[in-house]
């Protein structure tokens, strides 16, 4: 009897060890590739949201020449200046809880921090075919040129209102989540991180 129980435990430990070893090995080998993918995706999203043209070969060059990155209060903020050194766009990550898990996107704004230039999705775990449609072109394109003033609203039948975009049918909670995370994070960056004085300071760096 005793022997049987020892055998039981031994088998479990053995299988768990093999499994852990295998996963550890694959994790170590794939992690650098995954991290590279994520960095690339972030840079692509920054350029996409600011509407900078690039292709797969010149992504790195474009990013380093066009974009200045600053970490303020632990948040990475991306600035783009034109040839005369005038600030033309500010981009940063917006994150929050969706319906099924965390959602993170990348938003870029004009220097007034009110007008949206573009919005891209970085990661989400919403329901495929419903909430997950927030990654689709038609949904994201609506945000271009909209104003977060006083607040952005994601509603049914938005009409021509400058601060409203169309929600996704069947994914009310995801739509509300996007609305909330954009409003909250933009407000936070506006009030806590980027005062006019701070932005003025970066101009010459």
Partner 1 sequence: MNNTKDLFMAGIWEDNPVFSQMLGLCITLAITNKVANGVTMGVAVFFVLTASSFVVSLIGDTVPRRVRIPVFMLVIATFVTLVYMFLQAFFMPLSQALGAYVGLIITNCVILGRLESFSSENSPWDSLVDAAGVATGFALALIAMSVVRELLGFGTLFGVQVLGSGWTPWVSMILAPGGFLVLGMLIWIQRAISPVEEE
C-alpha closest to that of 58 among 45, 70, 44, 69? 44
Show contacts with partner 1 in window 82-111 (CB under 8 A): 100-101
- For residues 152 and 182, the answer to whether their CB atoms sit within 8 Å is yes
- For residues 21 and 27, the answer to whether their CB atoms sit within 8 Å is no
* Cα–Cα dist 187/114, whole Å: 10
State how far the alpha carbon of 40 is from the alpha carbons of 33, 60, 89, in Å: 10, 8, 20
CB closer to partner 1, 152 vs 168: 168
CB closer to partner 1, 34 vs 198: 34
Near partner 1 by CB under 8 A, which window of 15-23, 74-82, 146-154, 175-183? 15-23
CB of 169 to partner 1, least distance (A): 6
Near partner 1 by CB under 8 A, which window of 29-37, 58-66, 70-78, 191-199? 29-37
Are β-strands 87-97 and 75-81 bridged in parallel, bridged antiparallel, or unpaired?
antiparallel
Given candidates 2, 4, 138, 204, which one binds partner 1 under the rule CB under 8 A? 4
Question: Is position 132 an interface residue for partner 1 (rule: CB under 8 A)?
Answer: yes
Measured N-to-C along each axis, helices 2-50 and 59-66 cross at an angle, to the nearest 10 degrees, of 60
Question: Is position 3 an interface residue for partner 1 (rule: CB under 8 A)?
Answer: no
Question: Is position 173 an interface residue for partner 1 (rule: CB under 8 A)?
Answer: no
Residue with tokens 């766009």: 89
Contact positions toward partner 1, by CB under 8 A? 4, 7-8, 11-12, 15-16, 19, 22-23, 26-27, 30, 33-34, 37, 41, 100-101, 123-130, 132, 135, 169-170
């Amino acid at each position: 009897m005793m022997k049987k129980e020892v055998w039981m435990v031994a088998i479990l430990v053995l299988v768990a060890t093999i499994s852990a070893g295998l996963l550890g090995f694959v994790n170590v080998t794939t992690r650098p590739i995954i991290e590279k993918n994520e960095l690339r995706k972030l840079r692509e999203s920054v350029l996409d949201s600011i509407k900078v043209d690039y292709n797969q070969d010149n992504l790195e060059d474009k990013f380093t020449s066009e974009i200045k990155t600053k970490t303020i209060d632990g948040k990475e903020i991306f600035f783009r200046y034109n040839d005369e050194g005038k600030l033309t766009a500010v981009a940063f990550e917006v994150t929050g809880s969706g319906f099924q898990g965390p959602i993170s996107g990348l938003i870029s704004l004009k220097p007034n921090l009110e007008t949206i230039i573009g919005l891209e999705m970085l990661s989400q775990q919403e329901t495929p075919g419903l909430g997950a449609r927030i990654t689709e072109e038609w949904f994201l394109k609506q945000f271009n040129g909209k104003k977060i003033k006083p607040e952005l609203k994601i509603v049914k039948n938005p009409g021509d209102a400058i601060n409203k975009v169309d929600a996704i049918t069947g994914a009310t909670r995801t739509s509300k989540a996007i609305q909330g995370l954009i409003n909250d994070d933009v407000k936070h960056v506006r009030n806590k991180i980027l005062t006019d004085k701070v932005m003025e300071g970066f101009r010459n760096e």
